[in-house]
Chains A and B, each alone.
Chain A
Amino acid sequence: MSFLEVFQYTRQDSPIHNIDPRAKLVMSIAFAIISLTFINIVPLLIFFLFLVPLIIAARSLRRWSRSMKGLSFLLLFIMVFNTLFSTVPNPFSHSIALTLRLICLMTSFSLFFLTVHPDELSQALIQMRVKFEFAFAMSMAMRYVPTLGQEAYAIMDAQRARGVELDKGSLLSRIRGIIPIIVPLIIVSIRRALSIAESMESRGFGGSENRTYMEQLRFRCRDWGVLAASVLLLLLILYLRFFVPLPDWVLWELPY
């Protein structure tokens, strides 16, 4: 699942990381809409070349290119599939544009997920008036996913040593093989959940109406700047796309 890396937060100190998550959310959505506005190679390529420096600014070029490599098979498949089955006049050019669009779209969102810590995200949600319990549940899921994964492996090992075969036999016997994994996993998780709840309650969770937060996210000038620039760019692009006749070079297609 290496291509998912591009949506995984990495700890860095970069100008992109320092932007308020709310401003970054607006920015990412604006970029995603821009990616969807065009289905022509040239503008998408220009937009792509605009996004790459941002990824570099977020000091995540290596991670980003690694996931793109991981994704290359899927991208190639989309390209071939579209070229063969598309009904548009110039399917090859069209499918290249589609692939470029997908890359731009992923890059836009990865700018958000690569640089927003899950804690920051939940804090942003809370300040956007999402209930604390809900936002906290989300960050707790992040916290315990690796633990749960480890537990699943330990259970699989324990059951394999008792002769449970997980990857052999008919579909039915495979499904039967899952039960000895799922049941302990559920029970262990329930026990763990109770123990976590005990610890949280002991530290006053849910005890006061007036929960405070050690750190509040603050929207600074820079964040307003990012927000305004993203929105303006989006409006400009939409205006150009829909109200200005596009010159030929923008609509250029690969020779067919």
Chain B
Amino acid sequence: MFQLGRNDLLPLIEFADFSFKYLGADSLALRKVSLTVEEDEYIVVTGPSGCGKTTLCRAINGLVPHFHRGYIAGNVYVDGINTRESTVAQLAPHAGLVFQNPTNQLVTLNVEKEIAFGPENLGVEPSEIRRRVEHFIDLLELESLREKHPHEMSGGEQQRVAMAATLALQPRVLVADEPTSNLDPKSAEKILGILAEFNRKGMTIVLVEHRLDLIAKDASRVILMDNGQIVADGNPREMLSSSVCAELGIGIPKATQIYMKLEKRGLKLGRVPLTGEELSDLVEEASCS
């Protein structure tokens, strides 16, 4: 089987002046994107619809350019592998992708088979597959779903199974493209909680999401995209309080919005809050001093 030595000196993901245009499209989906992702980061990618977020995700695991073909310039390296010179299957153990629609990710008739599907495709030893299946059923609390047909599961349950199935390939980075946009708020909260938990355990995460109020607090870095380009990239507090964010019409967390309004009125708080609790604490600090 295909094997590459992991080079720990290189960044986990590197986009080098990468551009892409889908076959038959009029304009570029990504324009000269340069980006590096290091291990342990939790990156949230956001931007208006059609800004190229999904294409960025697809470029990380090789779906662009191998599944979605088109014009390509520049390179993407994942775990030291040039995605152009590799196949989607070869990249699977390096970068795992979770999609928006949970129903379309479950292709078998029960949870065990679903989790086993990826490792089976790559020829992993049966005993090792069994170990991974049990491990991820345990980790994502899927025990009660073990015997259920995907059709009988809720969207949130399906998405949890889809995550387990992707993680079973033991990727070094988990890329999630709006995994909660079809879910109800409670299920969405649960999925985002799982992602944050994984990140704390050392998993690198790239998440595309509109609802920044739910995730900004977990992220180590926010990337803003517009029109196929990265327009801003930095820590969440800086990014969300920047003018770029407001101009792009991105859903800035309410607590951050209030902070900015207070600032305009001349009331300065210690730092930029991302959640209600943080804002409340800052107000308390300010009122004491």
Stretch in B30-38, B109-117, B182-190 with 4+ CB within 8 Å of A? B109-117
Q: Which residues of B contact A201 (CB under 8 A)?
A: 63, 67, 88-89
A202 at the interface (CB under 8 A from B): yes
- The reply to whether A203 and B165 contact each other, CB–CB distance below 8 Å, is yes
Cα distance A211–B122 in the bound complex, in angstroms: 6
The complex places the Cα of A143 from the Cα of B113 at a distance, in Å, of 12
- The distance in angstroms between the C-alpha atoms of A215 and B149, with both chains bound, is 19
Q: Mark A108-121 against chain B: 1 for CB-CB distance below 8 A, else 0.
A: 00000000011100
Is B75 interfacial (CB-CB < 8 Å)? Answer: no
State which residues 39-80 of A face B: CB under 8 Å. none
Please indicate which of the listed interface residues A117, A206, A209, A214 has the most CB atoms of chain B within 10 Å of its own CB.
A214
Q: Could you say which of B109, B121, B123, B130 contacts A118, with CB atoms under 8 Å apart?
A: B109
Contact of A139 with B by CB under 8 A: yes
Report yes or no: A212 in contact with B67, Cβ–Cβ below 8 A. Answer: no
Q: A192-B104, A203-B166, A214-B130 are in contact. Are A208 and B113 (CB under 8 A)?
A: no
Residues on B with C-beta less than 8 A from A199 are: 97, 99, 104-105, 107, 162
User: Which residues of B have CB within 8 Å of A209?
Assistant: 123
Q: CB of A245 within 8 A of chain B?
A: no
Q: In the assembled complex, how far is the CB of residue A69 from the closest CB belonging to chain B, in whole angstroms?
A: 26
Least Cβ–Cβ distance between B277 and chain A, in angstroms? 37
Chain B residues within 8 Å of A195, by CB: 99, 101, 104
Residue in chain B with minimal CB distance to A11: B147
Interface residues of A in 103-135 (CB under 8 A from B): 117-119
Please judge, given known A-B contacts A206-B89, A206-B121, A208-B1, whether A200 and B107 are in contact too, CB under 8 Å. Answer: yes
Residues of B close to A216: CB separation below 8 A = 126
**Is A208 a contact partner of B63 (Cβ separation < 8 A)?**
no
**A157: interface (CB < 8 Å):** no
CB distance from A14 to the nearest CB of B (A): 15
Chain B residues with CB under 8 Å of A206's CB are 89, 121
Q: Once A and B bind, how many residue pairs between them come within 8 Å at the CB atom?
A: 110
**Do B1 and A213 touch across chains, with their CB atoms under 8 A apart?**
no
Shortest CB-to-CB span from A17 to chain B, Å, is: 13
Q: How many Å lie between the Cα of A158 and that of B169 in the bound state?
A: 40
Q: How does the 8 Å CB contact mask read for A200-227 relative to B, with 1 for contact and 0 for none?
A: 1111111111111111100000000000
Which chain A residues border B101 with CB–CB below 8 Å? 195
**Residue in B121, B126, B147 whose beta carbon sits within 8 Å of that of A203 in the complex:** B121
The yes or no answer to A196 lying at the interface (CB within 8 A) is: yes
**By the criterion CB–CB under 8 Å, are B169 and A203 in contact?**
yes
Q: How far is the CB of B59 from chain A (nearest CB, A)?
A: 13
Q: Give B172 Cβ to nearest chain A Cβ, in Å.
A: 15
19 other A-B residue contacts (CB within 8 Å) besides A196-B105, A198-B63, A212-B129: A143-B151, A147-B151, A202-B96, A203-B92, A203-B117, A203-B118, A203-B166, A204-B89, A204-B118, A204-B122, A205-B117, A206-B121, A207-B90, A211-B123, A212-B123, A214-B113, A214-B120, A214-B129, A216-B126
23 A-B pairs within 8 Å (CB atoms) are namely A11-B147, A119-B108, A119-B110, A143-B108, A143-B150, A192-B104, A196-B105, A198-B67, A199-B104, A199-B162, A201-B88, A202-B63, A202-B166, A203-B166, A206-B89, A207-B87, A207-B92, A208-B89, A211-B120, A211-B121, A212-B123, A214-B113, A214-B116
